[in-house]
Structure 1
């Protein structure tokens, strides 16, 4: 299936690993230098031609295998498929099998390739061909397809205690997925298969059920798969098809991704097949409980799913008219909320002290996060042996004093990149910030 051009990877870098019956050829070119750079919308046939040219081989004597994380995942036999459609990832390896003297490499040669990668291979099973007669061997292949739980058919000991492979700069995605996986009722809804009864493939606001299926498969791998390390590759590819802003392997905001995924999962299992027009509820003095009930009833006429049942709340807003003193109350549904991190604990503030004699000294001050500039000045004075009342603090920006800090200024309002200077004024001062500088 071709991937639309606007949804493809901009640049995909693929490293080649050569396997041939000609052992000298394999050893000489096992990991073939610089990666090939191709657009994700290019065809697999283009990759095969480029690989043959890079390795100085005849194209007819070359076949390709998806070698993601140094494990065989299947033959790349559809030459018309795009690289995105073939589920290749930026930075991964592609195994190039070379036919020598009319014969393809034997299974035993896999050990040589595995040794080159520190024994990371998953074993040498039959690969999937155009006829589709067989599939990769090894635990990675089973995990990729959501295979067996463990040898006894029960839950593996590492259930849920798994790592997610980094596909590039995708730690933002891994942290979000691990957080969602820890929401037990939501996870169990997908791992149990209960979501399948409510899939809404016709919902144009969702992903036609694709993200829900991919998410469910990933959760099953994390909680019931045989491996303690799981690759979210399939989830990442499905995500990129429906959210182009997350294509590629750059860093993104984890909270933004979480909002998209939760909304998409909700729409994929939305019980409402045809959304009606619903007017907003206008409160007129009712108790909060009554307002909330009315708002949710109207909201569920359009948005009703197990996801929203589990991760949804209401924001209450109250506005009072300063003229007539009329009180207006509204409540709006939300699925996530940003909260500031707690102020408990310590932080290190770096500051530069300028003494009265002109000498300077760099200080590292360990302070309570909830403290003030007064605590900073006291700690600095104690470190250098000065009376506490002789120091003033300011922020320097572009070699000029940007502003002075009052003793009550909160340390939470200082940023790590701020240049903090402390001046020894030579005598005790009763600090009063200059009016032009502000607090």
Structure 2
């Protein structure tokens, strides 16, 4: 068939409206296969738009792009949406959301997006999820429903690459933080990694969140193998875009707290040798025995504090007790150092005490010690059990209990944390203010 014959077929089909199924009349007319005058062409286009909601949406696009009639195009989008066309609903929603040619109307935009979403439009499904995630306008924030719509959009076979990337970004955030779904680092990382691979398709606010979330995943090994250098790089990229959250993570990584926490993780991952599995009970029994012996020597003096002290290597233990009478006998106006420093107190266990015997065993097993944090926790547990046994009778709740380290700059932190665990809020508050 020659060009002339082809043109004849197109003219005949156009007059019979047979081309209505092809939808894109603009391309047909521009192809050279149709020489029908524009006014005739537009007359038929309008007639077909009144028949088909799909063509009604296309006609709206034609009015906006070819005729410069933006508002007329919007009216056609709304009409197409009213007649059930999801693309028309989505297009109209976008215009009302952006405030193009009309006043911005977030709530109407959501209603139009919802119409599109319920008809299976993937971008509409994403927008509904986005509105529910953020809680825009009159839309109440609902993470669970947001996740449902995000997953529908992501699984939609008609979903574009751009929409899929945007949806993956939000699903990654939801799964990493457990927003509206079960927290799952592995699933979160899969979505976040996919979003990161095509991050240019994200707008800046979500880009910042994805970069920060990827930083968390890599820096702390959440869903992937830990890579602190790569995680730090993601945090730096997020900070460049204004992320305060990423800035806090960088501050934490550069702080002593990070090193301490990493050391604790390593200690926790180390299998505990049989000896150390029961060390809290051994300390408890030794402290109880030695405290009974000390109480026998103290008689009716008023005890105000009991401390269990170790050394910086966690190889030895001794128990110290002090009374108000001893404090007053040493100095008419005792200072806080004397009052709260175990080495300055009047009573401690002797050379043949149970804690001295236990210390020898601690030294013999020191090479398998799970870590100082483990040992400090065992000391606190032992002291709590001794206190709860009310071995000191009615005086128990008037006594300040704590643990300490001899000749160590971290002693005060350990004393404070143990005092808060072992004592009433009132006694702990007094102890925490001992140096003020």
TM-score, with normalisation over the residues of structure 2? Answer: 0.27
Q: TM-score, normalised by structure 1?
A: 0.27
Between Structure 1 and Structure 2, which shows a larger proportion of helix residues? Answer: 2
